[in-house]
Structure 1
Amino acid sequence: MEQLTQRRTMAAPLWLQLLLCIVAVACVLQARAQPDSKGFITIDCGLSEEMGYVDNATKLSYAPDAGFIDADTGTNHIISPEYVIPALAKVWYSLRSFPTGVRNCYTLRSLMPGLKYMIRGRFKYGNYDGLDRLPVFDLHIGTNYWHTVNITDSKDAVFVEAIVVVPEDFMQVCLVDTGGGTPFISGLDLRPLKRTLYPQVTPAQGLVLFARLNFGPTNETFYVRYPDDPHDRIWRPWGDKVMWTEISMASGVQNIANEDLFEAPTAVLKTAIKPRNASGNLEFTWYPVPTPKDPSPGYIAILHFAELEVLPNNTVRQLNITVNSKPLYLYTSDIAPDRIYDIALYNSGAFIRHSNYTISINATANWTLPPIINAAEIFSLIPTTNLGTDSLDVSAIMAIKAKYQVKKNWMGDPCVPKTMAWDRLTCSYPPGSPPRITSVNLSSSGLNGDISPSFANLKTVQYLDLSNNNLTGSIPDALSQLPSRTFLDVSGNQLNGSIPSGLLKRIRDDSLDLRYGNNPNLCTNGNSCQLPAKRNNKLAIYIAVPTVLAVIVSVILLLICLLKRKKQGSMNNSITPRNETMTTNAPGNNVCTDSSLQRLENRRFTYKELEKITNNFQRVLGRGGFGYVYDGFLEDGNQVAVKLRSHSSHQGVKEFLAEAQILTRIHHKNLVSMIGYCKDGEYMALVYEYMSEGTLQEHIDVGSKCNTSRLSWTERLRIALESAQGLEYLHKGCNPPLIHRDVKATNILLNARLEARIADFGLSRAFDDSNDTHVSTDTLVGTPGYVDPEYQAMMQPTTKSDVYSFGVVLLELVTGKAAILREPVPMSIIQWVRERLAQGNIEDVVDSEMLGDYDVNSVWKVADIALNCTSQMSTHRPTMTDVVMQLQECIELEKAHGGGDIASHRFYSGSSSENPNLRYDAYTTNQSTNAIQNNTTFEMEHNLKRVPTMATGPSAR
């Protein structure tokens, strides 16, 4: 007995040790699944060891990929022995392939939302499967296409790289089977970047690496990467001893502190090339690589220049740069490389698309020394505008997936793209808003355990089927709090207890169809699942019929009285319910319609409906003279903005009715749309389409804190044109024509695609252009800085009043300044621009945030249009039709300069959670030097070739 007791006493520590070992392994795996102290994530895909390793050359820690991908997803492999060579780094030996599933994804977590990250995938086929079948497949970053991997040789070691903004605290990298062979991956790297680096990268646009070249190293295996480059970019040596002479310096070149947008490392900048022919120039050419998504991709080039030679007195090295013989419009004068600092030249928007691209670095007319270049990066552009599923829905469904270990095709984004949406999920796709999950069918899916509380976080689910599983526990009452749910099936499980009272109430209200049969332990306690007895139908009829008749008679008498009291046409000052008619202020005419009477097609909301769609007016978007504007969601998931009139508002029924009557009748793509209205007793509200990017002013205002990037010139041009088209419609396309009377930057709203909409029609007035061009008023309305001086003097607004105000908006777009400048002294933007343009220098006027990326001619022309619009005399101002035509000419100038397709140059994602500080005033009517060699020999872009006749890489000339 004593011996037995001793054995038990000794056994306890052994079990404890085993348990501690399990916990330790779990902790290591968890730690490996997180970024290291630098924020780096470095993954060796297909690594079978539970522990990672440290690379000898870079000293970076490599983790196995098990912590980043679903268990039992894909298979691990080792490349064939004939492809293992001494110079090959360990990360290239193993890989993971994905023979099943259309989409398989890695999830990288603990990231910083809104930060820029460099993501790099490694691929070496190495005939791992013995089939010698080279695959072709796609890569996606989240919901956006990244690259098509096309392996052309079993020995190739290829990496692809992108820089993107990460909107959430995680990133998914997905391999997509396109029918060209089994997708696989050898390694995956993630590196955080400073927000200031690579300004071309925005939430709507990413960069895909084509080439990163280090000019001048004499050793062709001299690859520069971490730690020489703190960001772990891989710089490929590039030279041509026949064409170019290498130059170098022992000491390093510096970056400009806090101002360098690219931070090229010293190990790269200390070498350069110059032409062997002292009178020659430097040229390199590349050919675009088409993809299924972009057959003719545009490119961005970043060129680095630093003087490495001590120049004798009276010598000059000056350069200018051309792309396909056209100047690179970034600086107005030629550049001279600096002895101390790196000078980086770049383009913000893609070059005009060509069959090939040649960058030429030429000496200027004043040269005494030939040109040089130290390094270059070339990127293609990818849009990152595809909206992923609503983040709350994603969190909920991911928790459900983890709890029940769902083994379906639940990889990547649940709803996007539609062709890869998760099995047995249905989604809605509201325009301009993230998709929402509306239906989940997990019937007969082998679910075990209780009903996850995460189901209650799927706020827009209308259909939930959990039948025929092994669910236990009770039905959570939280399910009754979901307003969208109309069908719930929990039958065929092992649930117990009773049906929550909230669900019983929903059943009684006919807002829920609940099925709960075949749960042996459910509803075993008396009347716990019984619904209130239905009333006797006949008795109900006997009671209801007389009551209804009495009400009808009363209503008829009341209507007769009301009609007698309103025979002066006072119905012009009210909003009628749906299916009633509305007339306008001008007899015989109506606003922008073909008949004199128009049925009101907009939805009429009750106040209780507004409470429901705004979640009891929970989130305020903005406030103005009319009252607060609230965030809301309709039953179909569409996001809306609800402007509710405050009882203390100084703007009353008159402005409310004016805007409502106009918005029910005008329909144009550049005018904000009204979804509906509410006139419920003392409550009055207007329901608008949701404009996720807020007002134009927020994107150009120097003091705005809610923007991480400014609008490019091409975007500003497009917004200007769209706004002008909206105003032209009011002036020419409506009958009778409309004068807006409050055109300003806060009344121009932007949606997720940065498309402009004119908003706020509470001050608008109609006029009869057959007799006159103005409206007589007794009250001056508008916003200081935008008001037409003639209107101020004569109290007679005209269409030219809108033209004047729009001219001020154009000046704001050009300068990035407000309509009224406050420092050093208050001054109109019109006067400020006129004084500087009189000296003939547009650079003194243009917004510096555009970084010189514009065609000077188009900017001059827009400034000229704006000044014409703001002429003191209305007769000297153009019409909005003229303004539209001239702005279209400006866009053609910018396209010729290299602005590309302005209509789709750059877009935003548009989720309200991405930019929570955007205001909605327009809705509210105012107011490193060791070289890394052996282990990185194969870390190069194999789409770069040194043979000029190859169609996929830069060639020296």
Structure 2
Amino acid sequence: MAWRSSLYALLVVVALLTLNPTPTYGQPAPSQANFISIDCGASKPYTDPVTGINWVTDANYTSVGTNVDSVPGAVAFSNNSEYSTLRFFNEPRKKYCYTLPVTSNTTYLLATTFYYGNYDKLNKPPIFQMAVDATEMLQIDLTGPTYANDAMRREYLGRTAVGAPTLSVCFYQDPAALQSPFVSSIELRLLDYRTYETTWLTAGNFLFAFTRRDFGGDRILRYPDDAFDRVWNPWSVPGLVKVSAPSPVIDTFGTYIMPPPLVMQTALTPPTLGPLVLSYKFGSATLPLDCAVFLYFTDVSLTSTATSRIFTVTIPGPFADQPSTINIFNYTGGANKPVVYFWNNMTVTDTSVITMTPISTSIDPPLISGAELFAKFPALVQTTDIADAAVIESIKEALKLTGWGGDPCLPIPLDWIGCSTAKPPRVISVKLANYNLTGEIPVDFGKLTALTSLHLENNGLSGSIPNSLATLPALTELILYNNNLTGVVPTGLTSKPGLVLDIRGNPVCNCTRVDNIAPASSPKKSNVGIIAGVVGGVLGVLLVVALVVIFCVCRKRSKAKRDKLTELPTNQFGNGSTGTSGAGGNMDKNSQGAMAYSLADITTATENFKKKIGEGGFGPVYYGKFPNGREVAVKVSDANSRQGVNEFNNEVQLLSRVHHKNLVSLVGYCQDGKTQMLVYEFLHRGTVREHLYGSPLALQEPLDWKTRLDVALNAAQGLEYLHSGCTPSIIHRDIKSSNILLTNKNVAKVADFGLSRLGPEEGGASHVSTMVKGTAGYLDPEYWSTNNLTEKSDVFSFGVVLLELLCGRQPIDNTLEDRSQWNINDKVRRSLQAGDMDSILDPAIKNAHPNMDSVWKVAEIAIQSVEPKGVHRPYMRDVVKELREAIQLELGHSGAYTSDYSNNSGTQFQGRRPLNLQTSAPDHSNASLDSMNFSETFQQGPHVR
């Protein structure tokens, strides 16, 4: 029958060697030589006492994410020790990948499991995406009731590409959910390339295991019963009876699929001669599906003959009118011999059935031992251009970026790569600014023939600029400023038409080589003079341009603009603040820039660095005092610091020219070899953070409500000056309570400008595209997800600081004994939506009986400031205005409670009222309490640099 070859492929039992022998009772467990079993989050390798699987940690397969070594409720799964740990991913990057070694052109089974177990105490199971190499797999959605107390297991069959040494398994946030992905385990089983041989299973295609059934089985089977650790679920069908082989051992057979003997030992069959019907119903939301189905049969009767059991099999799909006829005995040569059929074109709907009908001469009814149903998912996806992908791998190795795994462009690109829409996609841009890169620029960049833009600024790259960059045909932008590049710029770059080349801040010579110049008496002397003049002129112009671009020229706003802001009289500020607008606030008298100090000067002032007063991302901070009596704080670069020369230069350049009473003044700096030091005015009262929590000052010198209001206004005025009083504006990028310092009169000043960036020019773009940097808990979620930095990014961070001032709690806290995680945005938003101020307000505030209208006003502006989308946040000028009004309310407070904020007894703080998000600020009326709290992405994690 010629149609049979196109309808299905018959796998007959043959005596072939296989990768692993199928286990049977009394036999040793099959080999795990081709297993990779990763218990994600585990601290050490171990052998599971129940299954015998040898689990390893994920340390050798990924370098991103955070381990959770105890997932609540996992102890109930005695057969799944891997559920007890997990790794979650909340770093500010787009995707997180595991890299697994594989053999090329080989079939593999990939299984991933996800057991939430409420590990983060948020009761919010996440939704996120998973990808294998360039292909996006089914969404991981754990929000349904099925996974409240159970795990999700996803199994895929795939084929590695020819020459592929690795396989990437990646996770990334669903754009609509923005929750941290996590994974409990990853299992890779390398199979013989003929395993599950179908015309569909080629490199780049996948079969997703929808169901695997053991008909007549009485328990779940996995390794060691299944040599590949597939999970077989016992299955019974109403109206069918179970039959078993008389012998406990089914003959070991050598097909490359190899169902376990225990599956083939039992079967289901009708009690009388008649059809056997199997139903596949999955719900209309996922259907119809193009599937491949594998059916397993064993004639368990020892008395069967060639005419005992003959039946036709009809499957749903395009060939449903051409049923297949199966005679198990003829194919196997006797009883207890398994046979396997598979169909590659089965269409499953919510009414699909597989029907097995005995022919008229059959003595016994049909039977079935097992079945596997796979969705053909997804269609073939082309990876990034093979040559480009290979070059990116080489560049990652050269620049020590090996923690960035996965396909460069698909299904989403790496954070620092831009890709074309061509098929296959090409790498058209690389933006590795501020990545702390060292070493030389890899010459392999010259092999990215579609590259149009290369950004490597603000790193520590050395050596010369590779000549290979000049050969890139499409290159229009090469940005290399602020590195340690030397030598001469290749002439192919200096003469390349239309190329934007920026090499400021490097020792490199941007000139054309002039070789074999004639002696002075030669007639060519005039040409030499012309060349020298041209070169000198070019260098002069470049120097001027560099100075203009690097430095921002801050100016006082006009008095007319200042008068538009509502100001408080000077005598209303108890902390010495003048109450002037940040846009036109008092500027320091010394506006001549920072002074350069010698190492001897600094050593003398600090008494050989005797008194350490702090520690930051740049390095330790020491107290110093100059001979003229001026007290200073000296930040000394740490060799292990993740900040470096770029942040140092950035801070010196900005603070030398930015002066405001609410910005920490830079007194000077020192560069001695590799040692870099920043000298600031000394502020006696330390940081706001120290007065709120985490320091003895929080108990000895707590900040009262009025002082907190003044502190908030001072800091807001400093930020307003940066945003509105400088052209172009300056975006701080790292606002947090530890970067706001206090004078001995509690005047607040914003500090630490190492990560600051110049904002967009007036009339230009609305944002600056840059690598995400900042501190977990304070990062603007919109900036994190888009790399688009705006002034509203500072507003978000400042909103978190306002919440800290209200609550006296840090933004995120995973140190509590019950392991619960405090997320200040989420907690405050829920509480205020319910009108409950009592549960979140710092006891140091409520015990002093503040004016509650003032408290609520600050809460309102704080919640608006931490809206997920920047368009819903106020500008800093609006924040300043609201804080002034809050101070006016507090100053007018008599100290007595009103009935609105007390209970019937008049003794217990309540403070309940509806939260009003309506303000006079433009474009903010649609702010919603139901908005997703993006900052939950940063529940844990270090200072991002």
Q: TM-score, with normalisation over the residues of structure 2?
A: 0.46
Q: TM-score, with normalisation over the residues of structure 1?
A: 0.46
Structure having greater relative contact order (Cα 8 Å, sep ≥ 6): 1
